[in-house]
Amino acid sequence: MKVDNLMDLDKRYPQMAGTANPEKMLLFSLLRHIGAKKVLEVGVSAGHMTCWLAQAMKYENGYLTSVDNFSRAHGGQASSKEIPQKRINIAGLKDWVTLIKSDSVEFMKNQPDDTYDFVWVDADHSFKGAYDDIVEALRISKNGIGVHDVYQQYDGPREACLSIEHDMGISGTWIPGFRGTWLYFPRPTSKEE
């Protein structure tokens, strides 16, 4: 799998990427492993992770939908689709991703259950915002979700994950990293259930 172009792009791009390369490579590999064809990214910022998700979709002949309100809230680097779109174009990935300006929860509420193979959550970093994003992401994802920024800088996503585990009786896997990722995968059900 060839991702050197994305690592080079991350180094050349003027804004700091919020997701470390090991986390990006893990998610890229995970999407390839589960054969994801339809992925939703919630929270785009400058589009660093967008390119990695889109690269996985290119390999899998899939498609990425990326949603952000581009308000620069919680350290977001882009106040419009222009910055991430430029990055996507430079990476040669425009055919595998669409950027949508929208409130993440409102967008997800309009999606049917099990619409996406995987949902990446990295938008509102307040407790309530992250909690609402995660609840909707769990509903619309068939194969799992990832929640970013559960370790450094922000308490909201981590606390939301802990509350959801308690409230919904589910458990995820915490992946340490630059800012950390929490992964949730549905439990297989037996044929008797």
pLDDT, residue 5, reads 64
pLDDT, residue 33, reads 92
Query: What does DSSP assign to residue 18?
Result: S
Strands 181-184 and 145-148: antiparallel
pLDDT, residue 72, reads 57
pLDDT, residue 62, reads 97
Burial of residue 1, with CB atoms counted within 10 A of its CB: 0-12 exposed, 13-18 middle, 19 or more buried: exposed
Superfamily name with CATH number, domain 4-184: Vaccinia Virus protein VP39 (3.40.50.150)
pLDDT, residue 3, reads 61
Q: What is the pLDDT along the chain (193 residues), one digit of tens a residue?
A: 456 666 666 665 545 556 667 788 888 899 999 999 999 999 998 888 899 999 999 999 999 999 999 875 545 555 678 888 988 998 899 999 999 999 999 999 999 999 999 999 999 889 999 999 999 999 999 999 999 888 766 789 999 999 999 999 999 988 876 677 889 987 655 454 4
pLDDT, residue 150, reads 81
The domains of the chain are located at 4-184
pLDDT, residue 161, reads 93
Identity of the residue numbered 48:
H
